Structure 1
């Protein structure tokens, strides 16, 4: 009603002035379209366009206001004439596009796409109802094709637009819409009724009426001809009921078919049939649609065109059967009473390449209980299907009936076909013979028995190759011919010590010590040539107290032939040890940082260099130096190993990125890169152990050491995390004033001496009310700094408080009877108040349990004493 009122208002605005100008009633009963000028009609069209209303809507409103059907037809004709004048020259019809029926733009869509399940669908355990996706697809499908030649059996009705082309001696085109009364109006002819007749009958009727104007349309020799075509089509209403997803009444194009109605209604529901869809028209069934025939056979004879008022009824499904397994389209299929197992397999696209076809087992629902039916392949065409049948097509066995395998020291190992009476010798010949490293004394055949147990058959490879022995092979036999390297221990020689590439090397006959040193890259600078040891395994001695035999001799520094060494021939598993000379000394380096005049790295000159010597070489302390806070940081063995480990990981990771970038996109590069990284890591590790590091590695170790500072000068945060370094509390003033005394410590390689600036703060942390850092005040004691931090908390363990001084030393609180003696405070000190250990109180049940236990113990003691 709101839309109708809106239309009336717009129509009144559009025609108000025209009606008043002619003195007509506002209900438009007596308006004459012929008396309106083209300008007035165009004004009406412009206002209608601004209001957003279509011509069909305006015609409905005009009819509501009393305009007759003849005047409505004249109004439509006048509008078309004005549109022709403004868009085309005189006596020409509209552009061909104007004749096209409105067709929604569609994407290409394959209606059978959903019938080809992907691999993931086939692996799914839950089967889908076959063809259910066709009507529920989000893609546009089954839309009527409007721009087709005019169907000769198309029945016209109100709202259809017809195009009448008269050509020959006379040329004119009429474009008319059939009025609600079923007529078109042609000037000079009058109304022509066309409703409820087909195109062919309408053409004859129009020809008879137009022959009044165009005499050349009839006669023995007509010179004027008529062509009738369908323009824009009307809408019809179709009811879709029964077992559909969205039953109801749908407004469709008059060119729509039965499939179009089903698609708009969402297709059959879960219980709806796809094999018996009925179309009712005027109380009779005019068509029965089988969707499967359309999908499998392309038959669309029952997909007839719909008419206004048609009823589509989707009945419940007839019978359904499941088909899964090694089938091309596993799904749930609807079957008719006369269809067989062979029909079902054909609907599913047939067996796939792995299907076992000799027989199928049907899981069938009986009257009382389930039962199985095993059907042979020759009976597939005879076996009728029942509602609820479930068939699973099993794949063939994964075993082979004629496969054998040979592996080991063979030129072409792999699988081979087992032909009739193939023997072991024939198989070796097929695989192009043995490799040079084949072990000829023994081979094995692993045979699979019929009971699936394994049997081993041994053979002499040499006898088989000489033709003196042979074995007939069986299916799934595995022939193994080992290599001599598989059955014998790998012979190697090991060299370690002061050589460039220590490690294992393959044993070579007649190799001397000098030869082995040459293979290992030669001697290092600190290698000793005066005493080289060779350790040899003992195998033929009864003396169990000895583990090896040791030979000692000299070699030449330049590895030239030494008479003693050249006569000594190495044997498998010998271990060559190259010692270092006692006369080569490695540099020992320390670092001095902080408030000295020349901080940096220094080399220890002697084994007896002390703190005072190092500070003296560094130019002494600056004016801001605070010797009481100086600290000596000494690396532990654990720290050195961790530094080396982190440095190796950093270098290997860098090399990984370089290799991955270099070989990106190449096939089989992963294994190659992994091998390269393993070799590189081994090389770097050995270099570190020998003290031969690249400059890059030294820089990384140095940075790692620098980043791991013990703690900052005004804080002891991280103090408990020192696990790789140890801080040694020193008295630098005493060491400088009394060189060589007990305070003047002897330095070691890697020591770090840190001299801070004069410190002016004291930090209080732990169980105080307000932990903070306060200014150092000379003469203030322990409790004064605690008061500056708010005092002790309730959980403070006061008797265990201690002070850590700037030089790394610490002093604890001493408890003498009922008195406590707190340690003195110096600049840069840290006061630490630990926390009490909280003990959980016993609950009532625990107290009763303890009391009961004590009472029991007391009773036992009492009885024992009596």
Structure 2
């Protein structure tokens, strides 16, 4: 699509010229047409091709006139362009949109080609071959044509790589075959008995001037010839120069080199004249001009010197063999012409360089495959399919591997090298209970089941012989299972079975055909668990596998639970599914012991019970005001708090027995040690357990008051004071205090709450070290009764008053 540009009239003129140039460039393939006969699609196609020419508008118009187009034709073309432009603007599309659509279309077609190619390569059996035969050949031809047009041309990346440079190296020794010309600079060094130096430049007339000598003509001479001429003339100044015994010598070298002009024409990306160094070669010039364009030949690049073809360069010599024999040094006014390619083919698929290649006359498909780097390791080389253009349509050819060396390519051929099938023509496999499982080849001496087992070095001792499975493919490639009696085949009792390719013989282990046999042992053992069952396993063997008995194990009663299994039984054994054995055993597991020799069966469960008299040592702790605090081991089954006090040597004189605390699992156990010591048979003298800890504090003569009081404070203890006395000494309760929930937390961990009966309150007794806690309402809750609460309270009081009056009257 044509873009909308502000300077319309100027661009239209350029477009017209570009279009006529495109027509002229295609003059060899398309005869001159009347402008009226051109379709809009042809106009746009010619325009796009002309855009890539890179020539000026004047050159384009001149080329159009050379093809016979008149000014009236140019005017008609302007009208056509204007009409196309107007249609594009009305549709609201741009050239970029059209290009993107074209790319999407090509991408979809390319994906179709790849999909078809994969499907074709994956057809490995007859069923798939029938599917392949139904593919649309016309669509395949179209997609192959798209791939052919978009494939990379072999060698074009050499000139597209911007990181490469082909600039001539000026820091080299003077080439002996270098041909001198105007503007070259020569350095003449005289040394020996005489020291002198001359820097001379070749004049436009082709001479150099040395002081006291007539001009020396060197234009067109090589360095060797020019050096000999210059030294010969300089002997007029330096007698015997460069001759043996003269004592003086001279050396002529090249200083600054001149620039030359060469012209690039033909199918080159950037044609024109270029000024380059006189040391430049054909490669240098080609790189500057961008190399051949898509229509240019890589193998027919001519250097024209003095109106004659001086040398023809074949880039494939350099690309394939690094041969630069034809990469000659250029001369001033040389013309490099890149011809149009004549024969170009595409090679895709399983080759190392899938590209487009140019083929010269006499070269065969074998040469093309050499250009492509040869086949990959997965290439299917038996036949190579070829898509060839004829004068009317396409046709498909198959080139066998014997015809590759003689098959001559045609222009536009597309060669698709497929991949080999993912299967074997003579493979068989054996799996399972043989010594060498794996894949084997059907060959002489290995063509039957018996021979395959022998090749795998025979069966293992635990192989199941009554039945084996031979998996194979039918003629239509459906899977098939052949069941065989492997034991009879190996013994020669029945006929051996011939093998077919892709057969898989599976020999099973005996243990694979039954449930995995286990026995279980738990209880008083060092390592109880589940163990594999072995034939002939006895009870003592299993105990050994479990690392023996623990100290608390009972040997007098070991239980073995066994499944009742009768495959031929038709009843349920009266509901009994497990049989229990009770077996005594000696701890030393002697062979003479009858219990140790009890034979186990698969899936038995053995339980080792604990001895009824076994009990671990129980450690308890006591700290605080006792004579011997520390850790103690209880010797009796039932040990009480009073026993622990006795073990610790009794209480010290400064103890406060009423505040003693018992801790169990980090939690305080409320205990009255005074009552426990006064009456050892009381409920307060509780039994101790492993890990218990008793703390006996010193005498504490303070009382702590906390919570909803005016002053949280410690007060001195006085046994005659009550809770109300202590609250008064703390400044009284606050407005947020919940008086009915006041409680006393004693030092021994027990707590006592204020008791109420009607209007009467009973406060708990306060002991030394206790804490009086006054709970509070949350600060955001207003103290006092709501209207509903007041009415309810009044109603309750009225009811209570009536009841009291009635009771008084009755009394």
Q: TM-score, normalised by structure 2?
A: 0.56
Change in 2 beyond 3 A, CA 1:297/1:611:
same
Are the counterparts in 2 of residues 258 and 304 from structure 1 also a CA contact under 8 Å? yes
User: Who is 1:397 aligned against?
Assistant: 421
Report how far residue 347 of structure 1 moved: 0.7
Report how far residue 234 of structure 1 moved: 0.8
Report how far residue 532 of structure 1 moved: 0.7
Query: Following the alignment from structure 2 to structure 1, what is the Cα–Cα distance between the partners of residues 497 and 196?
Result: 97
Tell me whether 1:528 sits opposite 2:554 in the alignment.
yes
Report how far residue 240 of structure 1 moved: 7.4
Tell me whether 1:333 sits opposite 2:363 in the alignment.
no
User: Who is 1:558 aligned against?
Assistant: 588
* 1:463 paired residue among 488, 492, 495: 488
User: Who is 1:578 aligned against?
Assistant: 608
Are the counterparts in 2 of residues 245 and 265 from structure 1 also a CA contact under 8 Å? yes
Change in 2 beyond 3 A, CA 1:828/1:419:
farther
Change in 2 beyond 3 A, CA 1:782/1:520:
farther
User: Who is 1:417 aligned against?
Assistant: 441
Query: Following the alignment from structure 1 to structure 2, what is the Cα–Cα distance between the partners of residues 833 and 316?
Result: 99
Q: How does 1:848-859 map to 2 (within 5 A)?
A: none
Tell me whether 1:213 sits opposite 2:237 in the alignment.
yes
Can you list the C-alpha shifts for 1:675-720, whole angstroms capped at 9, x where unaligned? Answer: xxxxxxxxxxxxxxxxxxxxxxxxxxxxxxxxxxxxxxxxxxxxxx
Tell me whether 1:138 sits opposite 2:168 in the alignment.
no
Report how far residue 358 of structure 1 moved: 2.4
Give the secondary structure class of the aligned counterpart of 1:186: coil
Are the counterparts in 2 of residues 275 and 291 from structure 1 also a CA contact under 8 Å? yes
Tell me whether 1:433 sits opposite 2:458 in the alignment.
yes
User: Who is 2:172 aligned against?
Assistant: 147
Q: Which has the higher mean CA deviation after the structures are superposed, 257-266 or 546-555?
A: 257-266
User: Who is 1:385 aligned against?
Assistant: 410
Q: TM-score, normalised by structure 1?
A: 0.53
Tell me whether 1:498 sits opposite 2:524 in the alignment.
yes
Are the counterparts in 2 of residues 590 and 602 from structure 1 also a CA contact under 8 Å? yes
Report how far residue 529 of structure 1 moved: 0.5
User: Who is 2:280 aligned against?
Assistant: 256
Tell me how large the CA RMSD over aligned residues is: 5.9
Give the secondary structure class of the aligned counterpart of 1:353: coil
User: Who is 2:578 aligned against?
Assistant: 548
User: Who is 1:449 aligned against?
Assistant: 474
Change in 2 beyond 3 A, CA 1:565/1:301:
closer
Give the secondary structure class of the aligned counterpart of 2:575: coil
Query: Following the alignment from structure 1 to structure 2, what is the Cα–Cα distance between the partners of residues 319 and 509?
Result: 81
Are the counterparts in 2 of residues 144 and 253 from structure 1 also a CA contact under 8 Å? no
* 1:230 paired residue among 253, 268, 276: 253
User: Who is 1:161 aligned against?
Assistant: 186
Are the counterparts in 2 of residues 445 and 457 from structure 1 also a CA contact under 8 Å? yes
* 1:481 paired residue among 507, 514, 520: 507
Are the counterparts in 1 of residues 180 and 220 from structure 2 also a CA contact under 8 Å? yes
Are the counterparts in 2 of residues 238 and 311 from structure 1 also a CA contact under 8 Å? no
Can you list the C-alpha shifts for 1:793-829, whole angstroms capped at 9, x where unaligned? Answer: xxxxxxxxxxxxxx999xxxxxxxxxxxxxx997999
Are the counterparts in 2 of residues 776 and 827 from structure 1 also a CA contact under 8 Å? no
Change in 2 beyond 3 A, CA 1:609/1:472:
same
Query: Following the alignment from structure 1 to structure 2, what is the Cα–Cα distance between the partners of residues 160 and 195?
Result: 12
Change in 2 beyond 3 A, CA 1:334/1:578:
same
Report how far residue 583 of structure 1 moved: 2.4
Are the counterparts in 1 of residues 179 and 220 from structure 2 also a CA contact under 8 Å? no
User: Who is 1:645 aligned against?
Assistant: none
Structure 1: gaps (5+ residues): 1-122, 635-726, 764-774, 786-806, 810-823, 835-866
Report how far residue 742 of structure 1 moved: 10
Query: Following the alignment from structure 1 to structure 2, what is the Cα–Cα distance between the partners of residues 383 and 295?
Result: 22
Change in 2 beyond 3 A, CA 1:517/1:201:
closer
Are the counterparts in 2 of residues 405 and 415 from structure 1 also a CA contact under 8 Å? yes
Q: Which has the higher mean CA deviation after the structures are superposed, 439-448 or 232-241?
A: 232-241
Are the counterparts in 2 of residues 176 and 185 from structure 1 also a CA contact under 8 Å? no
Structure 2: gaps (5+ residues): 1-117, 119-146, 697-701, 714-729, 738-747, 751-770, 782-811
Query: Following the alignment from structure 2 to structure 1, what is the Cα–Cα distance between the partners of residues 675 and 339?
Result: 113
Larger radius of gyration: 2
Query: Following the alignment from structure 2 to structure 1, what is the Cα–Cα distance between the partners of residues 526 and 426?
Result: 56
Give the secondary structure class of the aligned counterpart of 2:595: helix
Change in 2 beyond 3 A, CA 1:511/1:342:
closer
Change in 2 beyond 3 A, CA 1:608/1:581:
closer
Change in 2 beyond 3 A, CA 1:256/1:315:
same
Query: Following the alignment from structure 2 to structure 1, what is the Cα–Cα distance between the partners of residues 167 and 662?
Result: 89
Query: Following the alignment from structure 1 to structure 2, what is the Cα–Cα distance between the partners of residues 178 and 423?
Result: 92
Matched pairs, number: 570
User: Who is 1:771 aligned against?
Assistant: none
Change in 2 beyond 3 A, CA 1:149/1:633:
farther
Report how far residue 565 of structure 1 moved: 1.4
Query: Following the alignment from structure 2 to structure 1, what is the Cα–Cα distance between the partners of residues 628 and 274?
Result: 97
Query: Following the alignment from structure 1 to structure 2, what is the Cα–Cα distance between the partners of residues 405 and 320?
Result: 47
Query: Following the alignment from structure 2 to structure 1, what is the Cα–Cα distance between the partners of residues 415 and 749?
Result: 83
Are the counterparts in 2 of residues 612 and 735 from structure 1 also a CA contact under 8 Å? no
Give the secondary structure class of the aligned counterpart of 2:172: coil
Query: Following the alignment from structure 2 to structure 1, what is the Cα–Cα distance between the partners of residues 430 and 187?
Result: 83
Change in 2 beyond 3 A, CA 1:752/1:439:
farther
Query: Following the alignment from structure 2 to structure 1, what is the Cα–Cα distance between the partners of residues 624 and 258?
Result: 96
Query: Following the alignment from structure 1 to structure 2, what is the Cα–Cα distance between the partners of residues 780 and 392?
Result: 106
Give the secondary structure class of the aligned counterpart of 2:608: strand
* 2:315 paired residue among 291, 301, 312: 291
Are the counterparts in 2 of residues 157 and 194 from structure 1 also a CA contact under 8 Å? no
Are the counterparts in 2 of residues 157 and 196 from structure 1 also a CA contact under 8 Å? no
Are the counterparts in 2 of residues 233 and 255 from structure 1 also a CA contact under 8 Å? no
Tell me whether 1:537 sits opposite 2:563 in the alignment.
yes
Query: Following the alignment from structure 1 to structure 2, what is the Cα–Cα distance between the partners of residues 444 and 214?
Result: 105
Change in 2 beyond 3 A, CA 1:130/1:521:
same
Query: Following the alignment from structure 1 to structure 2, what is the Cα–Cα distance between the partners of residues 231 and 827?
Result: 115
Tell me whether 1:275 sits opposite 2:295 in the alignment.
no
Change in 2 beyond 3 A, CA 1:307/1:436:
same
Query: Following the alignment from structure 1 to structure 2, what is the Cα–Cα distance between the partners of residues 235 and 607?
Result: 119
Query: Following the alignment from structure 1 to structure 2, what is the Cα–Cα distance between the partners of residues 546 and 530?
Result: 26
Report how far residue 400 of structure 1 moved: 1.1
User: Who is 1:518 aligned against?
Assistant: 544
